[in-house]
Structure 1
């Protein structure tokens, strides 16, 4: 479909007059919609990236209670920020949000700016966050594209390519810009996403309830199941890891990942790593602790097994208990370590699989 076709199609049937009344009547009363304060919009949109609305609602409320302004967030300790983010995943979002808050608090102490150039230079702010914040908070005529709005636009226009990559990605962003109204731009962007979430679902869309049904090519031609095309399946790789709960009397070893780690930067965990091919859990446990911490340990039995996924990896983490035999912690792979009691574990920000593991440490049957 050419750019002229995009303009012609919606020159004949603009979306805003059809979509905005539906949005006014049917949008969900979400906590970040009570105000167009740019800080609230920004925090919510960062949280919503790659996360469901239902999951975000309680996190948003707790986060805003702890950090009600950009200045409060800027002044916070990163560990506190990560702790409040725990369970949302994609922790780089939290670190970028914190770093950007520091930059904004320093450069614009009186109010968050209505300036695309300033926002574009902030860590973690790409085209989506830029458009979401500036259109909703300041009425800037900027588009947004995410999974829901992408699906709506592809179906309405009848775009048969993959709008998630390459030429299709460029097309959908241009389409999102072409359909913007002159007024209520932020509401319109929200309405596109809300329609995709509530009506124009990936499977079995409720076209009979859709305000855009009369102008939708996919609805007209019966292509809802084909547009957009299914995501390409990624090969899942099975990975076997071994983790070790190292005890020294009543305390256990908790280690902090470095700021430049490949994932879970600055989060805490028990030592763990991939087991070698043919390597027993016991041998891997001794090696992992020695290589990552410098300690020598006496290994006991398997305490629990935690299964989780990271991108295309399906990880089976066997966790063994161990006691410290000799040596002192040596920083290297980990930035630092602390000996803590089980009661203190709740105060440290950790990844979801580590929280599952550490929660199990409070179960008496493990010891």
Structure 2
């Protein structure tokens, strides 16, 4: 098999991304954090979150010592919050079992929550220059097109074939640069739609380019209808303009995050609001839809003005009254944070 490393690295030296914040310094902790953030999220979005995160928690020990609310607040807006909880759990396991560092042993590293084979390879190759292949979404797309592989890359047989190719193509020198280079190629040239094949250093040996298959490869995942669910969110506001927040149960969507109490109907919402305070008739705010990977959630916000909260709320770890100046310290789902801010702004 003809090596792709030489032309890919030559292209990377001229056109690759060399100034990403996790590259300076390229420590294992910073590479790990960036890899977890970049799962299903674009580089342009991640940069600001990464910088804010490492300013607050600059080391693995700082992450392990932080409480969950702090971690989720720093993650708030990136979505897929299970990534943040796995990150936090893995940091604590490193302190307990690996001397406060990410292990350099591949099996031990890949066994940590949220890491797995590809992320472990990315950490070891970029932070330590060790020879391990990666197979993230960008690399799957590059290899699928380069070798003309049909079948959805998530299928076991196809993924096994792609891992074998990733292993064969990984060079023995410049591992950190090669890993970044093949990710950059997928992110900037070999894109999902309208790839810039003429600028690609590998186009001369690319099966998809030669056979005009770039629009067909990778083979898309079989589609299925996404259902719509409906909920009512209660904005229960007291005389001090604080709003009642509730920590969501685990497991489930947004598990462990602070959100708004929910109800199935207007009547159920009124009943739930009355459990916490004496309230006036609610005002319906503009409904909106939030899209998850497996369903759409149609949200009807209801604003309740409360006269006085019940005393038990102050003693409940999963309920709290919060003002606008307090929510930045909490992990909230992005649509809930926006809804809260919009509500406060509209009445300012």
Alignment TM-score, normalising by the size of structure 1: 0.86
- 1:44 is the counterpart of 2:34: yes
Seen in structure 2, the aligned counterparts of structure 1 residues 38 and 326 have a Cα distance that, compared at 3 Å, is closer
Give 2:323's aligned residue. Answer: 341
Residues 26-175 of structure 1 mapped to structure 2, 5 A cutoff: 26-28=15-17, 29-109=19-99, 111-175=101-165
Seen in structure 2, the aligned counterparts of structure 1 residues 349 and 298 have a Cα distance that, compared at 3 Å, is same
Q: Distance in 2 between matches of 1:136 and 1:270?
A: 41
Is the 1:306–1:317 Cα contact (8 Å) retained in structure 2? yes
Seen in structure 2, the aligned counterparts of structure 1 residues 317 and 232 have a Cα distance that, compared at 3 Å, is same
How far did residue 206 of structure 1 move?
A: 1.4
- What are structure 1's unaligned runs of at least 5 residues? 1-9, 276-280
Is the 1:143–1:177 Cα contact (8 Å) retained in structure 2? yes
Is the 1:245–1:321 Cα contact (8 Å) retained in structure 2? yes
How far did residue 288 of structure 1 move?
A: 4.8
Alignment TM-score, normalising by the size of structure 2: 0.91
Q: Report the secondary structure of 2:165's partner residue.
A: helix
- 1:255 is the counterpart of 2:241: no
Q: Distance in 2 between matches of 1:343 and 1:224?
A: 49
Residues 227-242 of structure 1 mapped to structure 2, 5 A cutoff: 227-242=217-232
How far did residue 323 of structure 1 move?
A: 4.0
- 2:267 corresponds, among 280, 283, 291, to 283
- 1:354 corresponds, among 330, 336, 339, to 336
- 1:178 is the counterpart of 2:168: yes
How far did residue 298 of structure 1 move?
A: 4.2
- 1:16 is the counterpart of 2:9: no
- What are structure 2's unaligned runs of at least 5 residues? none
Q: Report the secondary structure of 1:304's partner residue.
A: coil
Q: Report the secondary structure of 2:281's partner residue.
A: strand
Q: How many residues align?
A: 344
Aligned-residue CA RMSD (Å): 2.3
Q: Distance in 2 between matches of 1:152 and 1:108?
A: 35
How far did residue 289 of structure 1 move?
A: 4.3
Is the 1:238–1:313 Cα contact (8 Å) retained in structure 2? yes
Which deviates the most, 81-90 or 157-166? 157-166
Is the 2:61–2:100 Cα contact (8 Å) retained in structure 1? no
How far did residue 348 of structure 1 move?
A: 2.3
Seen in structure 2, the aligned counterparts of structure 1 residues 65 and 344 have a Cα distance that, compared at 3 Å, is closer
